[in-house]
Amino acid sequence: MGRAAILVARAVFPQTIERLRRHFEVEDNAADQAWSPAELSARLHGKAGLFATAGERIDAALLDANPQLRAVANMAVGYNNVDLPACTARGVLVTNTPDVLTETTADFGFALMMAAARRLAESERFLRRGEWSRWSYDMYTGSDVHGATLAILGMGRIGQAIARRGALGFGMRVIYHNRSRLAPGQEEALGARWVDKATLLAEADHLVLVLPYSAASHHAIGAAELASMKPTATLTNIARGGIVDDAALAAALRERRIAAAGLDVFEGEPQVHPDLLAVPNVVLTPHIGSATVATRRAMAELAATNLIAALGGATPPNLLNPEALGHAAR
Ligand code: 8YV
């Protein structure tokens, strides 16, 4: 039997491609061309595995057009780009890359929150425009991070890593809201207290979003939620676009109903809502929360490990749908 064929949907480290070539016939995308869903589907024909990023949509149509597909390795911890039930129903194994990006992404979330609170990007733009002529007592005054209330929506691995930074490093009071509460011992170790969502929003000095995107979390922060926050509060989103109603957020920032925001993810990215581009009190970054060299290497290697295991008949370390193992091969 020949070696399995796989498709690597986006450019990735050459070392990762070389490793994959030791196991598979690899079609890669070294030029990092933008493939339409139809082109992705056509290139997937005959392939048993797909090395994907969060930018590729893996849905029933793609799966039905490619009944030979056996595994999808997502190089991301989030997997809302994958229709997991559709994969499971067809016996397609799906994996993600948790843990290796936790601390890096928490660092970035904290940086974005601090940038929003201390008006870093806004004041830098002012300086670059050549408008800085003198010191003044209230020039770009923001709000303190140390000692403030850090409010975390979503309390998975990254949320917990942010809580630790806030409580231990910055003496913050940490509150969180999540569907499932942490065990009392974990809450104590993190110095974090569970509150309902309304309390979280009302008490937040700095609200950080770290929950997965799903139909249930779509527009979890919209006009009503923003209206219930303090006018001095900041909002940071390092999770997924669509969790925040970007138009409503831009309006709240414009009208100073909240003080500032830090956004790494957007509805419909890489497009950014024009109203967000037009308001000064927001720091905008192009989805780089996990972007350190070491972490991106670790993510690529872990996705490769998962794909090699899945197509080699072993249970991948980060299998999201173990139920798919029970499905007879199609
Ligand atoms: C990825 C991410 O860089 O892991 C995730 O869920 O959002 C980022 O770390 C991005 O999704 C590309 O796959």
Known catalytic residue: 240?
A: yes
The 25-27 sheet, strands edge to edge = 25-27, 5-8, 49-52, 71-74, 93-95
Q: Is the pLDDT of residue 261 over 70?
A: yes
How many separate domains does the chain show? 2
CA 18 to chain CA centroid, nearest Å: 27
User: Looking at the structure, do residues 195 and 297 belong to the same domain, yes or no?
Assistant: no
Average pLDDT value for the chain: 97
Our mutation pick for probing the ligand 1 site, out of 264, 290, 293, 297, counting the most ligand atoms within 8 A of Cβ, is 290
CA of 147 to the centre of ligand 1 (A): 31
| Residue pLDDT, tens place only, 205-216 | 999 999 999 999
Q: Is the pLDDT of residue 271 over 60?
A: yes
| d(C-alpha 149, C-alpha 244), whole Å | 21
* Residues 263-276, mean pLDDT to the nearest whole number: 98
Maximum CA pair distance of the chain? 75
The CATH number for 215's domain is 3.40.50.720
Our mutation pick for probing the ligand 1 site, out of 77, 318, 320, counting the most ligand atoms within 8 A of Cβ, is 77
Q: Using a 6 Å cutoff on CB, does residue 156 contact ligand 1? A: no
Upper half-sphere CA count for residue 239 (Cβ side, 13 Å): 29
> Could you say which of 10, 240, 273, 296 is catalytic?
240
Residue 296 CA: nearest ligand 1 atom is 3
What pLDDT shows up at residue 1?
A: 62
| Residue pLDDT, tens place only, 226-254 | 999 999 999 999 999 999 999 999 999 99
User: Looking at the structure, do residues 146 and 194 belong to the same domain, yes or no?
Assistant: yes
User: Looking at the structure, do residues 94 and 107 belong to the same domain, yes or no?
Assistant: no
Q: Using a 6 Å cutoff on CB, does residue 235 contact ligand 1? A: no
Tokens for 224? 């009503």
User: Looking at the structure, do residues 270 and 137 belong to the same domain, yes or no?
Assistant: yes
User: Looking at the structure, do residues 118 and 248 belong to the same domain, yes or no?
Assistant: yes
Query: For residue 319, what are the β-bridge partners?
Result: 95
CA of 76 to the centre of ligand 1 (A): 4
| d(C-alpha 258, C-alpha 229), whole Å | 7
Helix pair 102-117, 157-164: axis angle to 10 deg: 50
User: Looking at the structure, do residues 220 and 305 belong to the same domain, yes or no?
Assistant: no
> Could you say which of 187, 269, 297, 327 is catalytic?
269
User: Looking at the structure, do residues 151 and 192 belong to the same domain, yes or no?
Assistant: yes
Q: Read out DSSP for 11-24? A: ---HHHHHHHHTTS
Q: Is the pLDDT of residue 7 over 60?
A: yes
User: Looking at the structure, do residues 163 and 269 belong to the same domain, yes or no?
Assistant: yes
* Residues 11-19, mean pLDDT to the nearest whole number: 98
Domain that holds residue 69: 5-98+293-326
User: Looking at the structure, do residues 128 and 254 belong to the same domain, yes or no?
Assistant: yes
Residue 290 CA: nearest ligand 1 atom is 9
Last residue of a domain, one of 251, 267, 284: 284
Contact 323, 315 (CB under 8 A): no
| Residue pLDDT, tens place only, 50-104 | 999 999 999 999 999 999 999 999 999 999 999 999 999 999 999 999 999 999 9
| d(C-alpha 50, C-alpha 178), whole Å | 32
CA 58 to chain CA centroid, nearest Å: 17
CA of 263 to the centre of ligand 1 (A): 14
- Percent above pLDDT 70 for the chain: 99
Q: Using a 6 Å cutoff on CB, does residue 53 contact ligand 1? A: yes
User: Looking at the structure, do residues 237 and 187 belong to the same domain, yes or no?
Assistant: yes
Contact 151, 203 (CB under 8 A): yes
User: Looking at the structure, do residues 43 and 114 belong to the same domain, yes or no?
Assistant: no
User: Looking at the structure, do residues 165 and 67 belong to the same domain, yes or no?
Assistant: no
What pLDDT shows up at residue 326?
A: 77
Query: For residue 262, what are the β-bridge partners?
Result: 236, 283
Burial of 34 (0-12, 13-18, 19+ CB in 10 A): exposed
**What distances in angstroms separate CA 142 from CA 84, 117, 119, one per listed residue?**
43, 6, 6
Q: Using a 6 Å cutoff on CB, does residue 82 contact ligand 1? A: no
